[in-house]
Every structure is written in C-alpha cells, then in structure tokens.
Amino acid sequence: MSDDKQPDLARREFLQGSAGAAAGLAVAPGVMLYGPAASAKPIDEAASSEVRWGMLIDANKCASDCDACVRACNTEHGLGDEDQSGPRQQTQYIRKVELRNKATGASHSLPMMCQHCETPPCADVCPTGASFKRADGIVLVDRHICIGCRYCMMACPYKARSFVHESLEDQEPYTPRGKGCVESCTLCVHRIDLGGIPACAEACGAEGNGAILFGDLNDPNSAIAQAVAEQATTEVRADLGLNVGVRYQGI
Amino acid sequence: MKRLSDLLRSLPALLALAVFAAPAAAGDGDSGLRPDIPEPLRGDSCVEETEDMRRNHMDYLKGHRDQVMHQGIRTKKYSLKECLGCHVPTEDEARRAGRSEGEHFCQNCHEYAGVELDCFQCHNTRPQEPRLPHPLTPRNRQTMQDAGNPATAELLNKLADSDKNETGVAQ
C-alpha cells in the first residue's frame, strides 16, 4: 500500500509546488489587487458558490475613538430611527466592542457584526427558512418569510441579530425594514452584487484606519485570501467550528 | 345588553356615514364606485401589457423578489423599485404637483379591491429620486428598433434574450 501511495504524494507535492510558483509569478510584476478585488457578476446571473465573501479586520489598526464603520452602516441601511425602542432594542448591524485582557491590561477595539458563518446556527434553527446562506457565503434574513420568532437571535453566538419592535417609515430602498422581523448585517449584499464593497469597509478605508479588508476568500489572487494564507488570523469563538467569513487579527 | 349598547354607541358614526356617503355615490354617475388611481408620472406603457399587469403583477413581483433575495439576480424589469419609479412621485415631485399624501398607485387600488398589501410594511412607499422611463416598455423597444443603429440592435438582441429567460433586463 505504501508503495502505491508514494508516487501519488510526490505528484501532489509537485502540483502544489507548481501552483504556488504560478501564484507567485502572478504577484511578482507588482500587480496587487487591493480593496474591491470583487468583479461584479453579470446582473442577471445568480450568486456563485465559487466565491466566498469575507472580511479581515485588523484590531491593531482599529482605534477606540473611531466609529466610522458604525456610522456608515447606519446611514447605508437607514438604521437608528426606532424612537419607540430603547437602546438595547434598537437595531445594530455592526457595533464597536472594547476588549480588555484583565491579566495584562491590554485593550483592543474592534467592530463586531454578523460573522457570515459557513454553517450558520441561525439558519439551522429557523423554522421557516427565512434565515439562509446565499451561495457566495452571505448569511441573510428573507423578511418575506420571517415570522419574527427570534430563534435565530437566541442561536447566534455573536449577538449579531436585532428585532424591529415598531412600525418604520422612509426606509432606504435597498434595505426594506419593518416591524416584526429579525435583521442583521447583510454584508451590503446590494453593493456586492453591483461590484462594490460594504459600506463599513469603504468608510474604514476613507475616514477610519483601514482596518477592514473585504474580498473573496476563495480567490487566491485576492488581497484577503493572501493575507489569510500568510498571517495568523483568528475566528471569534473558533471552538464552535462555524468557519466564519469575518476573521480578526491582533486579538 | 352589551351588544345593544355597542350598537347605540356606533349609531352616530353609522348615521354620519350614510348621510355623507349617499350623495357622493349618487352624484356623478359611478365615479364614486371606482378606485381613484393616480396616473403614472412617466413612461407611456408598462413593462407588460396593462391587462397582463392587472392580472399577474403579483406573480411577477414575487418571482423577482425571490430571485433577488436568494440568488442576487438584480434585474430591473419586475422590480418593485422600478414600479414605484414610474407610478409614484418622489416627495418633492408630489409637493410640486400638489398631490395629496394619501395618493398612491398601489395602495389606492388595493384598498378599493380589499386586498391587503404587505409590501409597504417594510418597503418605502416612495422612490427616493426620480427615475427615467423604463427602457423595455413596448413603445421604447419599438423606438430602439426604428433607430436601426447596429449598436442599438446588438443591445436590443441582448435585452431580448434576457427577456425570454424571464430574468428581466439590466438597465
């Protein structure tokens, strides 16, 4: 048996080696793909499972006193207009979290939102199929079939979801929101489908500290895939084995 | 006893309804019996024939909504946003045209037909900015064909293919 295996291993190593060399060549001429490595899919084509959208957030770059991502998100999706709801009820797609290591006193700031799990617990528990994962890895709520039971809010280990408690008006055209439905970060899917990047990543690059890198984790030429392959990155609650799409550095 | 008191309490309202509603209905023919549907602001025809839209708009919208939501196919032909773009004025336009708050193409008809309309519990009732007429209305399509420009014809073929697939068309 071991004799049979040897040639296969050698062949695999050879293939891996040549693939790596090819990738290296592609990068060598100094063509770096930054930011929206995303090429827009044709508008009448379905999202493809060959793509996996993700984010890499560098907590070392993220400043405690900056909330550019949160503001951009609220503006993009028209959040924060629930005047009958308390602060604990109001919708948050993304929020800033301060972490402090009690032993060392080291403190970090980072944005926390839906982590777009590969195996999302919210979708597992959803009784109607309203919580689902799109082919390209984006986890969404289909409000047309959400009955507002809030099982998904219980199931989410990241507290990423919010429930709308009151009737709303003047919603943003790409983010319809209404009373009785659960909602969460959509990774700005309406922008991604048109070749853009999420509002938080854009704002972090423009007025923040460039801590959020967005791209296709499945594309070996994308900046995010290369960063994830080369540097140590962390999943929050990696113990759950959810293989999240949003990864962190420096925590 | 309770029922009787309820009835008595609602009596003034019923009387008022009878007094005010009767002349309106009897006044000028049957106009009081028809829904008050505002004219579209722009475009000279819809994306399908009017008869077809009257009967099937809900199916077109539902099919499109599922495609957008679950597959990210963001074509515009049967998009609710595009409907509103032609049929409902933006806030500014409504103010300039002196249209009242309550006038809404979808809502007025649904109210009349007694069909509950859930779209606007979440979707905005008004477009945010004025839109151009839809390029795929039959008359616009004819205009493009008449132009006879090769580039236009090429575009038209592309559009027509997508049209056949019922995926609608990108603008």
Residue A15, pLDDT score = 43
> With an 8 Å Cβ cutoff, are B69 and A167 in contact?
no
> With an 8 Å Cβ cutoff, are B168 and A135 in contact?
no
Within this chain, do residues A230 and A190 fall inside the same structural domain, yes or no? yes
- The β-bridge relationship of strands A246-249 and A53-58 is parallel
Within this chain, do residues A118 and A221 fall inside the same structural domain, yes or no? yes
Q: Which of A127, A157, A137, A104 is nearest to A245 (CA)?
A: A137
β-pair partners for A55: A214, A246
- Residues A57-93: pLDDT tens digits? 999 999 999 999 999 999 999 999 899 999 999 999 9
> With an 8 Å Cβ cutoff, are A142 and B74 in contact?
no
ipTM of the complex: 0.78
> With an 8 Å Cβ cutoff, are A44 and B167 in contact?
yes
Chain A CB contacts of B73 under 8 Å are 43-46
| Cα dihedral value A235, A238, A243, A247, nearest 10 | 0
Q: Does A190 touch chain B (CB under 8 A)?
A: yes
Locate the chain A residue with the closest alpha carbon to B125: A170
Pick B170's closest partner by Cβ from A43, A170, A190.
Answer: A43
Mean pLDDT of B91-113: 84
| Distance to chain B for A78, nearest Cα, Å | 11
Question: Could you tell me which residue, A223 or A38, shows the higher pLDDT?
Answer: A223
Within this chain, do residues A24 and A71 fall inside the same structural domain, yes or no? no
Residue A5, pLDDT score = 42
Within this chain, do residues A95 and A152 fall inside the same structural domain, yes or no? yes
Task: Residue window 25-84, chain A: list those with CB within 8 Å of chain B.
Answer: 41-47
Question: Could you tell me which residue, B120 or B43, shows the higher pLDDT?
Answer: B120
Mutation to test the A interface, candidates B68, B69, B162, most A Cβ within 10 Å: B69
> With an 8 Å Cβ cutoff, are A170 and B72 in contact?
no
Q: Which residues contact B26 (CB under 8 A, 6 or more apart)?
A: none
Within this chain, do residues A22 and A117 fall inside the same structural domain, yes or no? no
- Rounded CA gap, B113 and A22, in Å? 65
Within this chain, do residues A23 and A85 fall inside the same structural domain, yes or no? no
Alpha helices in chain A (DSSP H): 2-27, 68-77, 121-125, 151-155, 189-192, 199-206, 223-230
Residue B8, pLDDT score = 56
- The β-bridge relationship of strands A53-58 and A212-216 is antiparallel
Tell me which H or E stretch contains B157: helix B150-164
Domain of A230 in residue numbering reads as 35-249
Task: Residue window 98-157, chain A: list those with CB within 8 Å of chain B.
Answer: 132, 134-136, 140, 142-144
Q: Does B162 touch chain A (CB under 8 A)?
A: yes
- Rounded CA gap, A45 and A42, in Å? 5
| Distance to chain A for B91, nearest Cα, Å | 11
Pick B69's closest partner by Cβ from A42, A142, A177.
Answer: A142
Within this chain, do residues A176 and A193 fall inside the same structural domain, yes or no? yes
Banded pLDDT at B158 (limits 50, 70, 90): low
Locate the chain B residue with the closest alpha carbon to A171: B124
Question: Could you tell me which residue, A31 or A166, shows the higher pLDDT?
Answer: A166
* Domain CATH number, residue A191: 3.30.70.20
Q: In this structure, what token pair is assigned to residue B92? A: 């500014």
Q: Which of A211, A174, A164 is nearest to A67 (CA)?
A: A211
Within this chain, do residues A99 and A14 fall inside the same structural domain, yes or no? no
N residues, chain A: 251
| Distance to chain A for B14, nearest Cα, Å | 30
Within this chain, do residues A47 and A18 fall inside the same structural domain, yes or no? no
Within this chain, do residues A164 and A200 fall inside the same structural domain, yes or no? yes
Task: Residue window 23-62, chain B: list those with CB within 8 Å of chain A.
Answer: none
With 60 as the cut, is the pLDDT of residue B14 above it? Answer: no
Number of domains in chain A: 2
Chain B CB contacts of A47 under 8 Å are 71-72
Question: Could you tell me which residue, A174 or A23, shows the higher pLDDT?
Answer: A174
- Residue identified by tokens 């002349």 is B23
Average pLDDT for chain B: 73
Chain B CB contacts of A181 under 8 Å are 122
Q: In this structure, what token pair is assigned to residue A238? A: 């990696």
- Rounded CA gap, B81 and B126, in Å? 9
CB A36 within 8 A of CB A196: yes
- The β-bridge relationship of strands A182-183 and A162-163 is antiparallel
Q: Does A179 touch chain B (CB under 8 A)?
A: yes
Within this chain, do residues A55 and A152 fall inside the same structural domain, yes or no? yes
pTM for the complete prediction? 0.74
- The β-bridge relationship of strands A212-216 and A182-183 is unpaired
- Residue identified by tokens 């047309």 is A144
Within this chain, do residues A27 and A119 fall inside the same structural domain, yes or no? no
Residue B21, pLDDT score = 47
Residue A74, pLDDT score = 96
- Give the Cα-Cα-Cα angle B35, B37, B40 (nearest 5 degrees): 165
Pick A144's closest partner by Cβ from B65, B74, B125.
Answer: B65
> With an 8 Å Cβ cutoff, are B122 and A178 in contact?
yes
- Residues A198-239: pLDDT tens digits? 999 999 999 989 999 999 999 999 999 999 999 999 999 999
